[in-house]
Amino acid sequence: MMHFRVLALLALLAAVAPLTYAASANVQVGGGTCTVVPLGGGQDDGPNILDAFSQCASGGTVVLNEYYVVNTVLVTTGLKNVNIELSGVVQYTPNIAYWSPNSLFLTYQNATTYWFLSGDNIHLYGGGTLDGNGQVWWDYPNATSGTAGGSSTLFARPIPLTVGNASNVVIEDLTQIQSPFWNNFVYQSTNVTYRNINISTVSYSSNPTLNSDGWDIYRSSFVTIENSTVNNDDDCVSFKPNATNILVQNMNCLAGDGMSVGSLGQYAGETDIVANVTVNNVTLTNSQNGGRVKVFGGSPLANSTAGGGGGYVKNITFSNFQVNSVDYPIVFDECFATPVSCVDYPTKIAVSDVHYSNFSGTSSGAEGTMVVDLNCTMACTDITAGDINLTSPNGAATYFCRNVTSTSELDFNCTDSV
């Protein structure tokens, strides 16, 4: 009999509060929504955020609408049809002693991440902020140790948001500040869209920010990045090995390194492909590059980690660029960070079908009068340029082309051409 009374009591409770129960005191679950209530006082909200994701992992909505402190690596995987309302602030702690060894290690350039977001059909939105607390990392002694990718296994600067092993993801209306490393990593994923993302990674000390790319895309396809702003000191968007079928449009990039294919061909024996990329309607101000292709040269060593990898770059379009004080508005570097002579060891990456159209504005003058630098160590084929109207503050603009086979398809007169 007692049995039935307990059931009746439970039924009554359910009737009074039909949709709410507390699994963890600080995760409110109900109606398919898991809302994380901050602990406050600088305590780690990470475990409760993970709890919310595990309870709302299928068809649910995770709500992060307040200010959260996170000192636990967020690995949120296996999500299916999940909404994430990030309207508050998620701030990772400045706890290097925890994060460097415990951030999730990925398989490319020692990259690690604070948050690995994975699954199918995920929608993250809400107008909130992701704060990577980068300053402590840039100010740390020896912060620049590590090569190429810039992070190291000994001092692993995490990426605030990685979309990894995921499909059908939309991320919109988000502010991202102070990333210790790349702001966003699209890793082994397909059909991922970012829009209305406002990125700012700026150092307030004399130490510069480090590797603060807006986006890096690796082993991923069908990625769209649009209507976003990036204020940083490195690539706006970087197309890493096996980024294919990518659209980037309506972007405003400030102070960084521009739109960059590569670097590719770093590792001998590896095949790197970047193909079918469209980058359209971009404003770049005080940037190092406009539209760039950056590949390593060759190498005599079978085990080289500084060039010698093969592959190709094909079907890339850079259109409607406005450049304001950009060092290299149009540039191919086919001997990037290569320790041996690229005349003796040309790149093994074949570059073809790269199209530049409607570029206007001014170079910075850092490269004299040169506004175009198409410098190939293996012949580049089917490179075209139209409606290029670039000026140099140092006098009549000059255009450098080496080993480009299609100079008749360029609407400027090359010097040092094939």
Ligand X SMILES: *[C@@H]1O[C@H](CO)[C@@H](O)[C@H](O)[C@H]1NC(C)=O
Footprint of ligand X on this chain (CB under 6 A)?
109-110, 121, 141-142, 146-149, 152-154, 168, 170, 191, 195-196, 219, 226-227, 241-242, 244-245, 250-252, 270-273, 275-278, 281, 283, 301, 303, 315, 335, 342-343, 346, 360, 373, 375, 377-379, 389, 391, 400, 402-403
**For residues 250 and 369, which CB has a smaller minimum distance to ligand X in the complex?**
250
**For residues 6 and 418, which CB has a smaller minimum distance to ligand X in the complex?**
418
Beta carbon of residue 133, minimum distance to ligand X (angstroms, whole number) = 18
Question: Is omega for the bond preceding 263 within 30 degrees of 0, making it cis?
Answer: yes
**For residues 203 and 252, which CB has a smaller minimum distance to ligand X in the complex?**
252
Beta carbon of residue 277, minimum distance to ligand X (angstroms, whole number) = 6
**For residues 36 and 282, which CB has a smaller minimum distance to ligand X in the complex?**
282
**For residues 72 and 288, which CB has a smaller minimum distance to ligand X in the complex?**
288
**For residues 68 and 239, which CB has a smaller minimum distance to ligand X in the complex?**
239
Strand order in the sheet with 112-113: 104-105, 112-113, 158-159
Torsion angle of C-alpha atoms 217, 223, 224, 228, degrees rounded to 10: -30
Beta carbon of residue 293, minimum distance to ligand X (angstroms, whole number) = 12
| Bridge partner list, 164 | 187
Is residue 294 within 8 A of residue 336, CB to CB? The reply is yes
Number of other CB atoms surrounding residue 214 within 10 Å: 30
Is residue 210 within 8 A of residue 178, CB to CB? The reply is no
Q: 196: buried, middle or exposed (CB in 10 Å: 19+, 13-18, 0-12)?
A: middle
Beta carbon of residue 160, minimum distance to ligand X (angstroms, whole number) = 19
Beta carbon of residue 42, minimum distance to ligand X (angstroms, whole number) = 25
**For residues 75 and 378, which CB has a smaller minimum distance to ligand X in the complex?**
378
C-alpha to C-alpha distance for 268 and 348, rounded to whole angstroms: 9
| Strand 33-36 with 27-30, pairing | antiparallel
C-alpha to C-alpha distance for 16 and 155, rounded to whole angstroms: 52
Beta carbon of residue 6, minimum distance to ligand X (angstroms, whole number) = 44
Beta carbon of residue 176, minimum distance to ligand X (angstroms, whole number) = 17
